[in-house]
Amino acid sequence: MTRIAYVDGAYLPFDQAGVHIEDRGYQFADGIYEVFALIDGQMLDVDAHLKRLELSLEKINLASPVSYSALLVILNETIRANNIRDGLVYMQITRGRAARNHAYPAVSQPVLSVTVRPINETHRRHVAETGIKVISTEDQRWKRCDIKSISLLPNVMAKQAAVEAGAQEAWMIDGEGFVTEGASTTAWIVDESGKLRTRPLANDILDGITRQMLLSLIDELQLELDETPFTIDEAYSSNEAFSTASSLIVMPIIEIDGHKVGNGKPGQITTQLLQNYKI
């Protein structure tokens, strides 16, 4: 079946979809994106993702080219056209076409694009059962990581370093030795006292949607939580560690920088959170 993409008002065969050479997203990474899971035909946490999209657009003074209701129609139609029930939906809004100039025009014509790709549910289950390996790397990103910008080069380099080291994710470390977040995930540990730890929200991390949902679940399960930064050394000695993201929800971590986490298997609390996450 031919893949279909939505680009700037049209549904197109995937190999024909594209934007203008002077689209500011292409030349300046001037845009915002969102990714969310599609599970059994249902868009997971879509309202929260679209709310975050709106907030990020506001922060860079960019308006959506379509209304909220129209966007939902476009998302559903793109999913339907691709006949995918389990997958990832990617959407982005750029400031659109303009003559190349660092300063953006007073009036822009934003461009919306949407793609959908299948995910391997067997792989998702395998990750949950076996866990992943993580490396640490210096956080070299800009100071507005709360904005879900399409400018991701430091994240790309961190993820590539992880792959080349035989790992699946990179946790980034700030100048004081504390973990900020993963290249594409939120970082969590269960410390030696049995308390869940994750960095508090600020401009140096993204307000992850899975993070939001997990905080509610942690409260519901009456688990102990401390939103305080933790060091990479604390991560090495933690009872459990995991990353969260829309793609794989909760990813148990069994090794960080070659240090075995806990007993080297997905931990009890991590597994409990994954099993109780409302999908």
Rounded-to-integer distance, Cα 112 and Cα 11, Å: 11
> Could you tell me the two tokens for 41?
């035909």
Rounded-to-integer distance, Cα 235 and Cα 191, Å: 8
- List phi, psi (to 5°) of 201: -65, 135
- Our separate counts of H helices and E strands in the chain read 8, 15
Side by side, the strands of the sheet bearing 4-7 are 10-13, 4-7, 111-118, 87-94, 31-39, 42-43
Query: Is residue 192 exposed (0-12), middle (13-18) or buried (19+ Cβ within 10 Å)?
Result: exposed
Q: Which entry of 59, 133, 148, 265 is annotated as an active-site residue?
A: 148
Q: Is 221 helix (H, G, I), strand (E, B) or coil?
A: coil
Rounded-to-integer distance, Cα 154 and Cα 234, Å: 24
> Rg of the Cα trace of the chain?
19
- List phi, psi (to 5°) of 53: -55, -45
Rounded-to-integer distance, Cα 248 and Cα 51, Å: 21
> Could you tell me the two tokens for 207?
């307000």
Q: Which spans in the chain are helix H?
A: 24-28, 46-59, 68-82, 121-130, 153-164, 209-220, 232-236, 268-276
Asked if 143 is an active-site residue, the reply is: no
Catalytic positions, written as ranges: 148
